[in-house]
Structure formats: structure tokens, C-alpha cells
Structure 1
Amino acid sequence: MAIISCPFCGHRVSDKASSCSNCKGDLTGDPVKLAAVQRDRRLKQSQSLVNQSMLALILFLGGFGVLYWWQPSSGSYNEYVSTAAIAVGFIWYVVTRVRIILLKRSVKNGF
């Protein structure tokens, strides 16, 4: 008996189970169809991560734009907000890129 990922929700289930205990998806169907469902789920997850990465980059660059064009005075509210946008955007971008790498690595390893 092996543990596999449900193609519908990603929850770990036994390969002998007829349905997923988490989402109640039917695991007894055509293996080609189940593989397609799993591929579509990973594609959607990958696209979501790429979109988040772009939003983080826009936030990061927007913070720099405010600092460059508006040139807020030292200690002002605008300076704090733009510095926070830079920090949050950078951290969000790095974390999202790491998640993309981990997703690609898990797909390559077949998990």
C-alpha cells in the first residue's frame, strides 16, 4: 500500500482508497483523466504563484517610484509607507519565487 496525492485536492491518501477522505473525489476513474486533473491543478497553482510574484514586484517597484519621484521629506508618512512597500514587496517576491522553485521541484520528482 502506497500513499499518493489526491489529484483533486492534493491531500495524501492511500492508493487503495476509492475516494479521497478530504474532498470525496472519485479515485477509481480513468488514470489518464486523473493525471489530467492533477496536471490542471498544478498549472493553476503555478499560475497563481506567478501572478503573486508580479504583484509583489509591482509593490516593490511602486515603493521605489514614490521615493524617487515624490521625494518625501525625512520622517514623513509617505516615506514610511514607501519604505514599508519596498520591504513587503521584496519579501513577498522572494518567498513566492522560492515557492515556485519548490513546486517545480516537486513536479519534477513526481509528488
Structure 2
Amino acid sequence: MAIISCPVCEHRVSNKAEQCPKCKTDLTAATPEKLAAQHRDRMLRQSQSLMNQSMLALLLFLAGFGILYWWQPETGSYNEYVSTAAIALGFCWYVVCRARIIWLKRKK
């Protein structure tokens, strides 16, 4: 008996199991081609989700700069703190998303 990864959710299951206990994928009737296609689909969905998140992070980052540039809030005001926080959060979120995208591509 060996431990394998579920092709859909990557949960560790026995190779004798009929279905994955986590995602309920049928493992007995699955051909290698079908399992590879499910794995590809999951990777594509995850990649698209990360790209969407990186775009939202970039928008947050640019919105923070837009507030600072067009509104020109006074020093120490609430608007200045919000825009600075948006810039910092957007930048960090963007960097993390891009790192996760690179990691996902290497994982393939």
C-alpha cells in the first residue's frame, strides 16, 4: 500500500482508496489521461485566481498613489494614512501574488 496525492486536491490518500476523502473524486475509474486533465484544470484555475489577485493588488496600490496625487491630503490627516496604507498593502499583496505565481509555474 502506497500513499499518493489526489490529482484534484492533492490530498494524500492510499492508492487502494476508491475515492478521495476530501474532494470525493473517484480514483478507481480514473484513467491517467483523465487524472492529468483534472490536474491541468486545477492548476489553470489556481493560476487565473492568482493573476486576478495580483491585478486587484495593483489597483489598490495605484489607488493609494492616486489619492496622494490628486487629493493632496494634509500631513497627518486620515486620507494620508489611508492612502499610505493602501500603497503598502497593495505593494506587499502584489509581491506575494507574483511570488506565488512563480512558485506555481515551477511546481508544474
Do Structure 1 and Structure 2 share a fold, with TM-score over 0.5? yes
Alignment of 1:1-111 (within 5 A): 2-28=2-28, 29-107=30-108
Structure 1 gap ranges (5+): none
C-alpha distance in structure 1 between counterparts of 2:52 and 2:63, whole Å: 16
- How far apart are residue 16 of structure 1 and its match? 3.7
SS of 1:24's partner is: coil
State percent identity of aligned pairs: 74
Q: How many residues align?
A: 107
SS of 1:4's partner is: strand
C-alpha distance in structure 1 between counterparts of 2:14 and 2:98, whole Å: 31
- How far apart are residue 5 of structure 1 and its match? 2.4
The TM-score with structure 1 as length reference comes to 0.88
C-alpha distance in structure 2 between counterparts of 1:66 and 1:2, whole Å: 57
C-alpha distance in structure 1 between counterparts of 2:47 and 2:19, whole Å: 25
- How far apart are residue 2 of structure 1 and its match? 4.6
- How far apart are residue 61 of structure 1 and its match? 0.8
- How far apart are residue 20 of structure 1 and its match? 1.1
Structure 2 gap ranges (5+): none
1:20-52 Cα distance to aligned partner (Å, 9 max, x none): 122221112121111111100110000000000
| Aligned residues: CA RMSD | 1.3
**What residue identity is the alignment partner of 1:38?**
H
SS of 2:26's partner is: coil
